Structure 1
């Protein structure tokens, strides 16, 4: 099970916005340049994140994107599920009726535990924690767009 580019790039974009939180709107061209993601794809990702209430879009010549809430109130889980949907290694985890063998399946516990662990890890990391981890790894050098 892999997280798609939507989840990976979306989380990177949100971490970049977290680094600029409180400094104003971040322009799309700056996000594109710093994260090496096309402007069109950024708009696709941000549209989903905006619908989920995680970012605000500001229109106009000074427009761009900003986090809709502080980075310590938003988790990797919030971002990834807004872009990828529900986390389930197999369909029967959240929809048992999808499997005819669910009642006698010896492996279902494995898939349920995997989904739970995946969710717990993503919920453990706030955007602030991602930023602080980056700063620690890079000797406190400020992340700048």
Structure 2
């Protein structure tokens, strides 16, 4: 599975907004600088997030952006869906509309498991979790398992294309 730069930037931008004091507005330029995101790309992302009712934009001299809901009520999955739609798309077809035959029949169950796995992570991590640096225990356990496996493979970080 691939997480696009747009989704990565969107989650990082939302974390910046979540870290702001309640009621404060954050300028797009400040978010872009803090997270090293191109401003023009960030403005497109913020527009998508506004359309999804995850952020509010405030115009004017003291304008900026703020979360539309408390950070504890916005999940990483909410942000990803606002930017790219369903979490796991298979050929841009809904899983209900897929069917396979012969030796590939069980593949539908694999795709269902992939979607369930993504949901189990992304729907259980909120912006508040990110900002606080305290992820749910199940998520921390998965990350620890990943690090352990990478360590046993002799790598401290995954190599490009070898992120399995």
Unaligned runs of 5+ in 2: 135-164
SS across alignment from 1:80: helix
Structure 1 stretches of at least 4 aligned residues deviating more than 6 Å after TM superposition: none
C-alpha contact (below 8 Å) 2:77/2:87 kept by paired residues? no
Compute the RMSD of aligned alpha carbons.
Answer: 2.1
C-alpha contact (below 8 Å) 2:28/2:42 kept by paired residues? yes
Shift in CA distance, 36/92, structure 1 to aligned 2, threshold 3 Å: closer
Unaligned runs of 5+ in 1: 135-145
The total of aligned residue pairs comes to 133
- Counterpart CA distance in 2 for 1:70 and 1:38 is 26
- Counterpart CA distance in 2 for 1:79 and 1:116 is 17
Shift in CA distance, 95/89, structure 1 to aligned 2, threshold 3 Å: closer
- CA deviation string 1:14-56 (max 9, x = no partner): 0010000405100111111111111111110011100000000
Q: Which structure is higher in RCO with an 8 Å CA cutoff and minimum separation 6?
A: 1
TM-score, with length taken from structure 2: 0.74
Give the drift of 1:99. 4.7
Partner of 1:59: 59
Shift in CA distance, 98/113, structure 1 to aligned 2, threshold 3 Å: closer
TM-score, with length taken from structure 1: 0.83
